[in-house]
Amino acid sequence: MNKIETNQQTSPIKEDILRIIPLSGLGEVGRNMMLMEYKGLILIIDMGFKMPDDGSFGIDYIIPDISYLRGKEKNILGAIFTHGHYDHIGAIPYIQPKIGNPILYASPLAKGIILKRQENFPNQAKLKVEEIKDSKSFSLGPFKITPFRQNHNIPENLGFFIKTPVGNIVHTSDFKFDQSPINDLPTDFKKLEEMGNKGVLFLMSDSTGAENEGHSLSEKTIFENLEEIFKQAKGRIIASTFASHLNRIQQIIALSEKYKRKVIVDGLSMKDNIEIARRLKYIKTEKQTMVRPNQIPKLPDKMITFCCTGAQGEKRATLMKIATKEYRFLKLKRGDTIIFSSSVVPGNERNVQALKDEFYRQGATVYHSQMMDIHASGHGHQEELKQMIKLMHPKFFMPIHGQYSMLVKHSELAQGQGVPKKNIVVAENGDIINLRKNKIYLEKNKVQIGSIMIGKLGLSEVDKVVLEDRQALAQDGIFVIIAIVDSKTNKVKGSPDIISRGFVYLKESKNLLRETRKRTINTINRMANSSEPINWDYIKNEVKRELSEFLFRKTERRPILLPVIIQV
Ligand SMILES: [Zn+2]
Ligand SMILES: [Zn+2]
């Protein structure tokens, strides 16, 4: 047997194999994080988070599971970042302290956003961030990395051309091809072609737009569509987008100035991002344009553009507060125009729909992505994805960034471009992809992958048990039984009290409750008189076990069960 085939899953490989490990971002949209490992040395690409789907039970973010990196801190060469969107940088404050705070490499804009956000975490060690730029190569261990400019919907978006001992690897970052972008240069096809001609062993390409036919819209076209809305709006314009969607924010400001509107920005992260982009000259505003929210009542309606987050239906964002009339400075009225200027991230559809309905109900004019292409996904559609594969003509191909269906579609596109099926890997989070000069294969083992939840205003991890409790509470309710025990006789006094919420309607469940009380009394009396000394925790657990089984048998539900024993 060939020695190379028998390597141990967790020990560093000595042979000439490059391992690619997507920790997250495959089979989902958001929280992108990928590892490249060569002879035990690890390069990280991106550390993103995502928002939870519906039914998130107090969870703000979901971040990648980095268990695989535990104990390997000193082998981490650094982390390189494609761009400043939160699905690529958002998990930094949660991950950095756990992996030994390695050096981060990011464009000046992404660096600005990373450092600004870090101010919310004053107790953490200072981040070390090195600036990287288009075409400026640098080396980390065995990897020679050349960032290259890619169009998207935020400036300074970088793909990576990585020279490795097994061959050249290209990571596209999020991208679209744009001949008339905003804040950016048009796509440089000649340069991409030159890169492809250097020989690309392995291409990893953004799949977010893989199910969309044709070509994505240019930022210029989106600008024109937005302008149409500005032309028609008679009252206030309320435009919502991602806080990091800097191109869109810039467009909204520019149009406001053109149509003599003042701009009010709500939301700390959006304000911060605008400030950083202004410093780097990606957003230009005239002196008088930006005003504070308390100016709203003093201005005529047609002079107001209100810019905020919440286009994904996020519960705590300003747009939701406006819909539920909880926002102090702006009460919706007939004649207002609402713009949802970002595509809906999978999983958020229901929230966004409910929000839209509410705005229609209150008489606003609503524009969203199905009606007009104002969201312009910053992600290339099928024609662009095909073109990227054609330009790189890689030996091996792996679709990244996207729901599983998108990855599969993208792999089909690659086959259409002549990449043989056996040279394409449709991987999922935690898969270990082994890459050699002439071979690519998945290991049977996967690395440990879970979803780490961040709750309470994004400050702390939520334990899995806590989340499961919340889910159980929501699904099956809670059942508390309180027994008073005479400390002289160790027998239950009287009949235990029952408090139940969201489980069964107490008045209609007399028999069930009678039986529950009986079983509780029997269990306590039996156990308290058969052991010495008495272990009350043990008895409580026994009551819990017994009742849980009984209640499930009778109701097929598993409420949170809390037996309480009080000695008097
Ligand atoms: Zn992005
Ligand atoms: Zn992304």
Average pLDDT over residues 102-116: 97
Residue 86 has pLDDT above 50, yes or no: yes
Helix H, strand E, coil C: the string for 35-48 is EEEECCEEEEECCC
Under 8 Å between Cβ of 513 and 520: no
Burial class (CB within 10 angstroms; exposed 0-12, middle 13-18, buried 19+) of 307: buried
> What are the extents of the domains in the chain?
16-214+377-462, 219-367, 464-567
Closest ligand (CA of 46): 2
Helix H, strand E, coil C: the string for 47-91 is CCCECCCCCCCCEEEEECCCHHHCCCHHHEEEEECCCCCHHHHCC
Q: At 146, which amino acid appears? A: T
pLDDT of residue 394: 98
Length of the chain, in residues: 568
Residue 33 has pLDDT above 70, yes or no: yes
Band the pLDDT of 6: cuts 50, 70, 90.
Answer: very low
Residue 4 has pLDDT above 50, yes or no: no
Under 8 Å between Cβ of 379 and 83: no
Q: What spacing in Å lies between the alpha carbon of 405 and ligand 1's midpoint?
A: 19
Longest dimension (CA), the chain: 90
Q: What spacing in Å lies between the alpha carbon of 26 and ligand 1's midpoint?
A: 15
Q: What spacing in Å lies between the alpha carbon of 375 and ligand 2's midpoint?
A: 14
Q: What spacing in Å lies between the alpha carbon of 98 and ligand 1's midpoint?
A: 25
Band the pLDDT of 56: cuts 50, 70, 90.
Answer: low
More confident residue, 450 or 331: 331
Closest ligand (CA of 378): 1
Closest ligand (CA of 25): 2
* Least confident residue range of 8-12, 112-116, 159-163, 272-276: 8-12
Pick the closest to residue 100 from 42, 140, 141 (CA basis).
42
Closest ligand (CA of 29): 2
More confident residue, 5 or 315: 315
Q: What spacing in Å lies between the alpha carbon of 443 and ligand 2's midpoint?
A: 27
Q: What spacing in Å lies between the alpha carbon of 385 and ligand 2's midpoint?
A: 15
pLDDT of residue 458: 60
Neighbours of ion ligand 1 (CB under 5 A): 85, 174
Query: How is residue 432 written in tokens?
Result: 């270990």
CA distances from residue 248 to 170, 220, 254, 300, 370 in whole angstroms, order as listed: 28, 11, 10, 24, 17
What sign results for the dihedral spanned by CA atoms 324, 328, 334, 339? negative
Listed in sequence order, the residues at least 6 apart from 225 whose beta carbon sits closer than 8 Å to its beta carbon are 372, 373, 374
Residue 272 has pLDDT above 50, yes or no: yes
**Does residue 88 have an active-site annotation?**
no
SS3 337: strand
More confident residue, 479 or 207: 207
CATH topology of domain 16-214+377-462: Metallo-beta-lactamase; Chain A (3.60.15)
> Residue 39: left (phi > 0), alpha (psi -120 to 50), or beta?
left
pLDDT of residue 568: 86
**Does residue 379 have an active-site annotation?**
yes
Mean pLDDT of the chain: 89
Q: At 14, which amino acid appears? A: K
Q: At 68, which amino acid appears? A: Y
pLDDT of residue 369: 66
What sign results for the dihedral spanned by CA atoms 126, 90, 70, 42? negative
Q: What spacing in Å lies between the alpha carbon of 105 and ligand 2's midpoint?
A: 17
* Least confident residue range of 30-34, 306-310, 350-354: 350-354
State pLDDT tens for residues 539-559.
999 999 999 999 999 888 888
CA distance 18 to 166: 7
CA distance 325 to 336: 14
Query: How is residue 79 written in tokens?
Result: 């982390």
CA distance 124 to 108: 21
CA distance 84 to 111: 8
Angle at CA of residue 421, ends 419 and 424, nearest 5°: 75
User: What percent of the chain is predicted at pLDDT more than 70?
Assistant: 94
List beta partners, residue 99: none
Listed in sequence order, the residues at least 6 apart from 515 whose beta carbon sits closer than 8 Å to its beta carbon are 550, 554
* Least confident residue range of 89-103, 378-392, 518-532: 518-532
CATH topology of domain 464-567: Ubiquitin-like (UB roll) (3.10.20)
Q: What spacing in Å lies between the alpha carbon of 206 and ligand 1's midpoint?
A: 10
Q: What spacing in Å lies between the alpha carbon of 333 and ligand 2's midpoint?
A: 35
pLDDT of residue 456: 59
Closest ligand (CA of 244): 1
Looking up tokens 């391992």 gives 19
Task: Outline where DSSP puts E strands in 330-380.
Answer: 337-340, 365-367
Under 8 Å between Cβ of 181 and 375: no
Chain Cα centroid distance, residue 512: 44
pLDDT of residue 366: 92
Closest ligand (CA of 31): 2
pLDDT of residue 2: 38
What is the pairing mode between strands 460-462 and 478-486? Answer: unpaired
Pick the closest to residue 158 from 215, 111, 202 (CA basis).
111
pLDDT of residue 302: 95
Q: What share of the chain is helix, strand, coil (3-state, %, to 5)?
A: 35, 25, 40
The residue from 152, 375, 379, 410 that is catalytic is: 379
Given this structure, which CATH class describes domain 219-367? alpha beta
The residue from 65, 206, 266, 431 that is catalytic is: 206
Under 8 Å between Cβ of 204 and 32: no
CA distances from residue 28 to 22, 227, 427, 434, 436 in whole angstroms, order as listed: 12, 33, 12, 22, 27
* Least confident residue range of 20-24, 129-133, 478-482: 478-482
Average pLDDT over residues 107-117: 95
Neighbours of ion ligand 2 (CB under 5 A): 87, 174
pLDDT of residue 373: 54
Band the pLDDT of 132: cuts 50, 70, 90.
Answer: very high
Q: At 245, which amino acid appears? A: H
Question: What is this structure's pTM?
Answer: 0.83
Q: What spacing in Å lies between the alpha carbon of 541 and ligand 2's midpoint?
A: 46
Angle at CA of residue 464, ends 461 and 468, nearest 5°: 130
User: What percent of the chain is predicted at pLDDT more than 90?
Assistant: 64
Q: Is-same-fold flag (16-214+377-462; 464-567)?
A: no
pLDDT of residue 276: 93
Chain Cα centroid distance, residue 13: 31
CA distance 553 to 382: 52
What sign results for the dihedral spanned by CA atoms 431, 437, 439, 443? negative
